Chain A
Amino acid sequence: MTIKTYEEINRKIKAGEAVVLTAEEVSEMARSCSPEEIAERVDVVTTATFGAMCSSGAIINFGHTTPPIRMEKIRLNGVPCYEGLAAVDSYIGATACDPEKPEYGGAHVIQDLLEGKEIELEAWGKGTDCYPRKHIKTRITKDSVNEIFLFNPRNAYQNYNVAVNTTARLIHTYMGTLLPNLRNATYSTAGELSPLLNDPEFRTIGIGTRIFLGGAQGFVVWPGTQFNTSKPKNEFGIPVSNAATIAVIGNLKEMSPEFIQAAYFEKYGTSLFVGMGIPIPVLDADMARRVSIRNDQIETSVLDYGSPGTPKLGQVTYEQLRSGTIKVNGKKVRTAPVASLAKARQIASLLKKSIQEGAFEITCPVQMFPQHTSLKSLTETEGEKQP
């Protein structure tokens, strides 16, 4: 029985001898090889995703002026950013916007900065004895600020539902434009290539895992918000709806506009496409079995985004979704992705190459994620009671 350690795999990576496959390649290999054979032959499997991840944003330290200002209201190209972090620290969220200009949001500010563009910073303070200045209007770039790093509290959802619309009216959602009367269905996960579906019980992904984030090396820093391990699973141990998530950090100054892209979803708002790749060490036959998961074994729920409470209308596999049509309520419905598989594949190959070349080492998590978590809802304690 093969059992490998992180140290052994890293020694091979440094020597340029590691055998690395993408998650799609290993799934193909699994058609003819047993998990034990895969564990023997393969060291690392690369997974990736490139989708709109609304819970993303950047922490920025602007630097101090003379005389200094304690920024208590901050705008970047007119987009509000958080003002409650000391004098010149801020957080710009991807979905933040000026309600007058909803098409240009925090995601666009992040993208403009990443592309090297100048951004207008305007800030106000009340003026204090130690921070006398009350107003500043200036221009910044990613190189003029001290730090700018992405800190995304909820990314890379482990599976996500399929969106349809049974009502008679067209609706605009973060899952794209949903035509009336079940005329289309959209899905977002990269299926067998998706990071958290290849390590569904988090044996190797945890706090401290080094990842590919937006073209640079970043880290998993915490379980993501709404981290949920209690969602129903299918026979292959895959949750059949959106379940776990990760919080990630990475230096925006090192990232590339090729893997970070601002977006505006009609009548919804702005969001950020984030490119992410996670290497998974094939420690033993059990991990080999996990990374071998195929699109026909990964199922997800079809939800009606047109009806209150988004009722579940069915369950389909990614193989069916990728075929172009699924059946919902006995009706044939056309499918379309809303996340880029082409980009995810590009990231998985890039990550594979950097591991093969010894430029990217794998990390043993410093702490594993919690088990048995579930979600709480927000209850209304004030105001009118629902009838």
Chain B
Amino acid sequence: MIKRRFILNFPPDSGDKPLSYHLVRDYDIRINILKAEVFPGKRGSLLLEMQGTAANIEAGISYLTRHEVVCEPLEKRIRFQHEKCINCGNCTAVCFAGALTIGPPDWELQFDKSLCVVCELCVTACPLKLFEINFQ
């Protein structure tokens, strides 16, 4: 199961099609509408979070595209407030990508963003809550 976010732009005449119903029923995708701007008879846009298997999300997106919905993916990034870090090491216990490391000589946390795979485990592991998921 993964989570991804998309901005969906609907054409003016799509209001009567139960698209989200099909996403849930046919593709087993859990959806969460984070923001909606719908103007009846005009274009509408949705900020949608989809949770499901990668294959199902991909199939769901091509289903939407077939119905003239333009889907723009939002990329997830980890945001980190390094200046508040106390170098406790809790986050390094869960970071298997090797992005967060601590060790000799100074035992200060090193964060190599380029190695981050956005597994999100550090978000809950940090007792100071210094990591956040950002969508761009």
Contacts and interface: CB of A to CB of B under 8 A. Distances in A.
Interface of A: 50-52, 103, 172, 176-179, 183-184, 186, 261, 263-266, 271, 273, 322, 324, 334, 336-343, 345
Contacts of A264: 127-129
Contacts of B108: 342
Contact of A336 (B86, B92, B129): B92
A280 B86 CA distance: 26
B86 A340 contact: yes
A337 B127 contact: no
Interface in B37-62: none
Nearest to B107: A341
Contacts of A336: 89-90, 92-93, 102
A271 B107 CA distance: 22
B16 interface: no
Given A184-B93, A266-B124, A273-B86, 11 more contacts: A50-B86, A177-B93, A177-B125, A186-B89, A261-B128, A263-B127, A264-B128, A334-B93, A336-B93, A338-B88, A343-B87
A263 B107 CA distance: 20
Nearest to A342: B87
Contact of A265 (B96, B102, B127): B127
A256 to B, nearest CB: 13
B87 A338 contact: no
A176 B106 contact: no
What is the size category of the interface that chain B forms with chain A? 20 to 34
Contacts of B107: 337, 340-342, 345
Contact of A340 (B87, B94, B103): B87
B117 interface: no
Contacts of A338: 88-90, 93
Main secondary structure of the interface of A (DSSP, over half): strand
A183 B92 CA distance: 12
B115 interface: no
B36 interface: no
Contacts of B128: 261, 263-264
Contact of B94 (A179, A261, A265, A271): A179
A167 to B, nearest CB: 16
Given A179-B94, A336-B89, A337-B89, A324 B127 contact: no
A16 B88 CA distance: 34
Contacts of A103: 129
A183 B104 CA distance: 21
B121 interface: yes
Contacts of A273: 86, 88, 127
Given A271-B127, A342-B107, A177 B90 contact: yes
